[in-house]
Amino acid sequence: MVPMPKRSAGLLVYRRAGRALELLLVHPGGPFWARKDDGAWSIPKGEYGEGDDPLAAAKREFAEEVGALPEGAFVDLGEVVQPGRKRVRAFAIEGDFDVSRLQSNAFEMEWPPKSGRMQSFPEVDRAEWFAPADARRKILAGQRPLIERLLTKVGQGDTDVRSSPRKRGPRRSEP
């Protein structure tokens, strides 16, 4: 029997900077990703199980990885399949987030390998806003179509974006 591919759900948050868009991406924490940059960033996302609501999972994972609670009108960007067969369902929301306030959950792993020592690392070690062209270079290749889908839904290309009323996006979660 072939194992089912893992499924994740995440949020692609965007904001308007004049007529241009900026996209919020996160960099994975831990020693494997420490020296990787281009092609290593992601939307905040995490796994969900059979029967779980993907949007609820995307909101939960955003709160865990970023430390903010997303609110507002969500746009379904559909699903992409990454090279490792993981399926990622994404939703977009217009909002804002002060990246200096990033608060991510942590995970533990043996580091260095075979040392017998467990170390704790943040799931996400930083978050940044990128113009679409830069986001395309930074994001994992398998998630790149999500940027194109967002641009199609909210505007014409990187800089020619229709204006719309500002929606309330992620806000800082309470301790």
141 DSSP 8-state letter: G
Query: Amino acid identity of 3?
Result: P
pLDDT (0 to 100) of residue 19: 84
Burial 85-94 (b: 16+ CB within 10 A, else e): ebbbbbbbbb
Beta-carbon count within 10 A of 99 CB: 12
Q: Is residue 161 part of a domain?
A: no
Specify if 139 maps to a domain.
yes
pLDDT of residue 119: 94
The 8 Å CB, 24+ separation contacts for 35-40 are: 37/138, 38/137, 38/138, 39/137, 39/138, 39/139, 39/140, 39/141, 40/138, 40/140
pLDDT along the chain (175 residues), means of 10: 82 92 96 94 96 96 94 96 94 95 94 93 96 97 97 67 39 41
On whether residue 56 sits in a domain, the answer given is yes
* H-helix or E-strand spanning residue 134: helix 132-138
What local confidence, expressed as pLDDT, does residue 160 receive?
A: 37
With 0-12 / 13-18 / 19 or more C-beta atoms within 10 angstroms meaning exposed / middle / buried, residue 43 is: buried
CA distances from 125 to 26, 44, 58, 86, 122 (A): 8, 12, 19, 22, 6
- Structural domain for 52, as ranges: 7-156
Domain count, the chain: 1
- Does residue 127 sit within a domain? yes
The pTM score is 0.85
Is position 13 within any domain?
Answer: yes
Q: For residue 106, what is the domain's CATH number?
A: 3.90.79.10
